[in-house]
Amino acid sequence: MKQLILKHKMSMIGFLLGAIVGYVYWMQVGCSSGTCAITASPWRSTLYGAMMGWLFLGIFKKEKSQPKDTQINLNNH
């Protein structure tokens, strides 16, 4: 479980921060008419923010490099 959390740490942080930002956006801006697809409901706004945060910070996940002997050398044809 600990390795899973460490492996996806940036995505989880993005999820939480995005959820907070989505909820705050709903509170501060929202949608007064109720016809806005995302911001009319606090649940949708929070989930949308969480998804965007997860995707955005998931980009910065570190990839493990391959050992030198398994990398393909494309310079030698």
Residue 40: its pLDDT value, please?
A: 84
Residue 58: its pLDDT value, please?
A: 80
Residue 24: its pLDDT value, please?
A: 94
Segments of the chain scoring below 50 in pLDDT:
none
d(CA 35, CA 40): 6
Tokens, residue 52: 């965007």
Residue 47: its pLDDT value, please?
A: 95
Let me know: does 55 contact 17? Beta carbons within 8 Å.
no
